[in-house]
């Protein structure tokens, strides 16, 4: 039995549900489990009241206990800094709520329609630009598909995380989207293969491979420590089924604001069959200002990263502006 078969064996198929159900949601448990400084806990509790803690077991296993600066931990750790108001940081930095207006459908770019399929995630990243998004008011993905415009060339399934939907629902989505006369490609944005690699089941891989439309999977990893052996097997399995597997990162202070780190991430991703795609500047969402890196420093880090890598491993440094017709590419500069 090869690694891919072992990863998607029947006993593996529903493990992802159990791992999400067992995720840590209580700051007291997280602090005890990872032996974190108790001084940070009271403010951490308050931050988790504003945006709940959610940390799945597979991700927790990659965190160094006793180290509050661990780069994976910093992405999921509720801190008092989230409660400090910062000028320019808002609840809806990309102005998406008004665009959706209860439909679950976003027309952000020409020819591409984004469906907010679910508000559920496997992990709550503290810098998430949709951490305040009103998911409860949105229609489901089936309703959104019925409202696709006639020029929708590509449908992007987002959330939340669309891979919190079960395989049967995703099979239905692939089939219904393929029935739309203008749609030529499907894209899924997901953190699940990194946060909970067991989500990459045999049935999911079969559904992606059997889709009448090519499927592009865009995953999200920010640090090479996130790519352990199980994650690598999951990404390689996806690469064998999808038309392409890409990665988007966010440039985050205290996590990956270092060229050596980003270069190592690109190499690790490439070895796992995943191509670095975008390196996003932080979206200015309320609660995430402590992750901010200014443009000058970001350009320098991106330039130093590019100098360490072959061109095909260099992600494009980008910023998203609300209402813009495309992401803005930022030129790296030393």
Alpha-carbon distance values, 326 to 108, 251, 318 (Å): 8, 19, 10
pLDDT per residue over 293-309, tens digit each? 999 999 999 999 999 99
pLDDT of residue 145: 92
pLDDT of residue 13: 58
Instruction: Supply angle C-alpha 89, 129, 100, rounded to 5.
Output: 105
Beta bridge partners of 280: 250, 318
Tokens of 267: 């190499």
C-alpha span between 104 and 140 (Å, rounded): 6
Burial class (CB in 10 A: 0-12, 13-18, 19+), 217: buried
Q: Where are the domains of the chain?
A: 3-83, 96-329
pLDDT of residue 12: 55
pLDDT per residue over 98-150, tens digit each? 888 788 898 878 889 999 999 999 999 999 999 999 998 777 899 999 999 88
Largest CA distance in the chain: 58
Return all residues near 14 (Cβ < 8 A) that are at least 6 apart.
none
Residue with tokens 């944005």: 189
Q: Which positions of the chain have pLDDT values less than 50?
A: 1-10
Cβ(111)–Cβ(154) under 8 Å? yes
Q: What is the dihedral of CA 132, 134, 136, 137, to 10 degrees?
A: 180
135 DSSP 8-state letter: G
Superfamily of domain 96-329: Aldolase class I (3.20.20.70)
């Amino acid at each position: 039995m090869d690694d891919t078969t072992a990863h998607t064996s029947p006993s593996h198929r529903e493990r992802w549900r159990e791992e999400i159900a067992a995720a840590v949601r209580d700051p007291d448990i997280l602090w005890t489990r990872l032996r974190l400084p108790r001084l940070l806990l009271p403010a951490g509790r308050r931050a988790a009241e504003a945006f709940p803690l959610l940390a799945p077991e597979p991700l927790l296993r990659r965190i160094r206990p006793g180290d509050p600066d661990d780069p994976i931990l910093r992405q999921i750790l509720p801190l008092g800094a989230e409660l400090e108001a910062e000028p320019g940081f808002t609840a809806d930095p990309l102005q998406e709520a008004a665009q959706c207006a209860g439909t679950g459908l976003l027309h952000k770019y020409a020819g591409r329609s984004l469906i907010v399929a679910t508000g559920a995630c496997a992990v709550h990243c503290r810098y998430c630009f949709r951490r305040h998004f009103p998911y409860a008011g949105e229609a489901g993905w089936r309703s959104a598909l019925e409202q696709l415009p006639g020029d929708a060339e590509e449908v992007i399934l987002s959330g939340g995380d669309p891979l919190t939907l079960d395989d049967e629902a995703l099979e239905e989505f692939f089939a219904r989207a393929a029935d739309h006369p203008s749609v030529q490609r499907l894209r899924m944005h997901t953190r699940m293969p990194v946060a909970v690699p067991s989500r990459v089941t045999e049935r999911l891989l079969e559904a992606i491979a059997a889709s009448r439309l090519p499927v592009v999977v865009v995953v999200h990893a920010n640090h090479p420590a996130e790519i352990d052996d199980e994650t690598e097997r999951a990404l390689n399995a996806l690469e064998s089924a999808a038309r392409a597997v890409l990665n988007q990162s966010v440039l985050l202070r205290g996590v990956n604001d270092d060229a050596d780190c980003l270069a190592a991430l690109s190499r690790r991703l490439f070895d796992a069959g995943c191509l670095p795609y975008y390196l996003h500047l932080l979206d200015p969402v309320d609660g995430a200002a402590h992750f901010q890196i200014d443009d000058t420093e970001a350009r320098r880090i991106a330039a130093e990263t590019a100098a360490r890598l072959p061109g095909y491993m260099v992600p494009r440094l980008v910023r998203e502006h609300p209402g813009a017709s495309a992401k803005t590419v930022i030129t790296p500069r030393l």
